[in-house]
């Protein structure tokens, strides 16, 4: 059990890109592997928590890049996100497996991948090497990242949860 991390303030783990780049450099100096994943992470659920735990186990530190509210709306529609970007970042940082979160407002993460140069990049099993955006994939390959896909956890989907809630109205 990580006693030292029990009283950490999740708000302190929400970073700007510039702060994350400086943190990344410190990790590299210590020869620690950085795992990065990205997504909306609206309505945090067990599937997200298991995914973060398994992704974090692949390296020494875990950074989650989350879509801004405006970015989520473009991807998912005007009724999303259900939870605002600061609250989504805070909830993710409250997970022991997450070391930091950066919010991004761009359609893709290729510039972030170039700046952060992850050792390991993780996506859920609903993706494969051919479904990753080609510019993001190239940025990851240029960084030398090991690209991994974790099995999708059946029964846990934010869209399905929202549909279920709407059906009960």
Distance (Å, whole) CA 62 – CA 71: 22
Backbone angles phi, psi at 50, to 5 degrees: -65, -40
Domains of the chain: 21-167 (3.40.50.620)
- Give the predicted TM-score (pTM) of the model: 0.89
The pLDDT assigned to 107 comes to: 85
Q: 49: which 2 tokens?
A: 């928590």
The predicted structure's pLDDT at residue 31: 98
Write out pLDDT tens, residues 121-154.
Answer: 999 878 889 999 999 999 999 999 999 999 877 6
Over residues 41-67, the pLDDT tens digits come to 988 888 889 999 999 999 999 999 999
What's the average model confidence in pLDDT over 16-37? 98
| Distance separating alpha carbons of residues 123 and 109, to the nearest angstrom | 13
Which token pair is 151?
Answer: 């099995």
List CB contacts of 12: < 8 A, sequence separation 6 or more.
none
pLDDT on residue 85: 96
158: its two tokens: 């934010």
**Residue 159: its pLDDT value, please?**
62
């Amino acid at each position: 059990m990580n006693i030292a991390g029990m009283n950490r303030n999740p708000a302190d783990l929400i970073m700007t890109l510039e702060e994350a780049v400086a943190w990344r450099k410190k990790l590299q100096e210590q020869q620690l592997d950085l795992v990065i994943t990205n997504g909306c992470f609206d309505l945090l659920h067990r599937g997200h928590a298991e995914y973060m735990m398994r992704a974090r186990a692949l390296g020494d530190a875990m950074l989650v890049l989350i879509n801004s509210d405006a970015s989520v709306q473009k991807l998912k529609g005007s009724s999303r996100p259900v939870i605002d970007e600061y609250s989504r970042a805070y909830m993710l940082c409250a997970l022991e497996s997450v070391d930091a979160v950066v919010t991004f407002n761009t359609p893709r993460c290729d510039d972030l991948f170039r700046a952060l140069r992850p050792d390991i990049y993780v996506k859920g099993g609903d993706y494969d090497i051919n479904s990753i955006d080609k510019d993001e994939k190239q940025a990851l390959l240029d960084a030398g990242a090991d690209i991994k896909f974790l099995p999708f956890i059946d029964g846990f989907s934010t869209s399905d949860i929202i549909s279920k809630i709407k059906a009960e109205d």
